Amino acid sequence: MTKNKNNQAIWSTRIKKNTSSLFQKVGNSIDIDKRLYKEDIQGSIAHVEMLFKQKIISFKIKNKIIYGLTKINKEITNNKFEFNKKYEDIHINIEKRLFQIIGEEAGYVHTARSRNDQVITDFKIWMKKSNNEINNNINKVIKSTIKLAEKNVETIMPGFTHLKNAQAISFAHYLMSYVEMFNRDKKRFANNLDSLNENPLGVAALAGTSFNIDRNYTTKKLGFKIPTNNSIDTVSDRDFVLDFLYASSVCAMHISRIAEELIIWNSDAFNLINLSDKVVTGSSIMPQKKNPDLLEYLRGKSGSAYGNLFSMLTILKGLPLSYFKDLQDDKEIVFKSNDNLNNCLKICDEILKNCNPNKSKMLELANSGYITATDLADYLVKNHSMSFRKAYQKTAAVVNLAEKRKKKLNELTLDELKKIEPKLKEDVLKVFNLKNSINSKKSYGGTSFDNIKKMIMKYKREK
């Protein structure tokens, strides 16, 4: 294209001197926001269709602009588009190329629109897709978790509090606790769609526009539900970004928690799970090592998610209304969190597919630490009319006796138990059976095998 005014910055008529090279370097965002090209073109096409409908531009101009934008879309998709940092961002890069393709009529595309409402429109459309993609990846993790749980309903392990043996549980019950967490994550991302479904297009720079536009038309055309209510709030609002970053942080935290647990269980000290060679790495010096590096990667990446949320909160905390350059960082922050979380979900899914319990070790550990003590206390309450506190004291005395005689609870004889509580009968010995202990927890949400099977079936039906 020959050197002319359309090859210069948009504001060159007003700003006479060239922008400093340093500011051009830090001020352009094309390397970051070029991934919004589809959304930008989609929004521009809807905008010019609305302008034509409202008789603001002619049929000919509308068609030429749409032709040019469609061509640009193909060029970018086919890697034949040259992104120019001089043109700052994806919006101006596309507009400049539109001038090259169709000429001066390209100047009509920005009628009744500002980059302020344009960028938020693009961003919201992209984020709606992003929320759905993340939920699809969460679904895959949930599916893999349920599949592993289904195979391990009667796999007995100790449940922990304070990382100390607490009570007997099913390994499947443990796994299903993460299904609950990931389902809450899904709800958070689904809830984000409410604020993302408000259409910013048409509020222009900050005050709306004097053109007779139809915001309901572009709302429907772009898949939003309603137009935003206040033009000033619209261009300054990044609450939807915070909602996304918060949801991403919580989900990353859940992934980190399961990663930490599996790291501990994979350690030689616990040895409760086995990881396939597909998801471990070796050592450069110790030939015997199989390290859970991918799990450690998941645990570490939660810090990046938290940092991105805090960065955005810090940017917003001191901003008066309405638009400021500070807000440009929102896209880079969101893209990082989005890519980070999707990678982590895919890795988590792969690890769950390559993780198996060491059942014998789980059972061995469950048989230590006096984990059926609470079952004995409950038995005393139900069968001997004791208050729970009295039953607790009696049971503590039984544990002290077992500890003194270096026995497990299920190794104590009835005669030994009667020294603590003379009224006890033979059936008390059943409470020390681990399967009986687990199956006694029939209250809704408890660890009984039947409860777990019902919960697995419930989630499978929902899928």
Catalytic residue positions, numbered: 162, 283
Q: Going by DSSP bridges, is the β-strand pair 198-199/226-227 parallel, antiparallel, or unpaired? A: parallel
CA 37 – CA 250 distance, rounded (Å) = 29
> Is residue 185 a contact partner of residue 243, using CB atoms and an 8 Å limit?
no
* Count of beta carbons in the 10 Å neighbourhood of residue 417: 21
CA 66 – CA 44 distance, rounded (Å) = 8
Tell the burial category of 252 from Cβ atoms under 10 Å away from its Cβ (0-12, 13-18, 19+): buried
Q: How far apart are the first and last CA of the chain?
A: 54
Work out the angle between the directed axes of helices 115-150 and 239-266 (0-180°, nearest 10). 30
Q: Is 112 left (phi over 0), alpha (psi -120 to 50) or beta?
A: left
Tell the burial category of 110 from Cβ atoms under 10 Å away from its Cβ (0-12, 13-18, 19+): middle
Q: Which of 151, 169, 153, 156 is nearest to 364 (CA)?
A: 156
* Count of beta carbons in the 10 Å neighbourhood of residue 415: 8
Q: Which of 308, 258, 122, 295 is nearest to 201 (CA)?
A: 122
HSE-CB of 56 using CA atoms within 13 angstroms = 19
According to DSSP, the residues that pair with 160 across neighbouring strands are 165
Which alpha helices (H) appear in 271-372, and where do they start and end? 293-317, 329-353, 359-366
DSSP single-letter state for residue 272: -
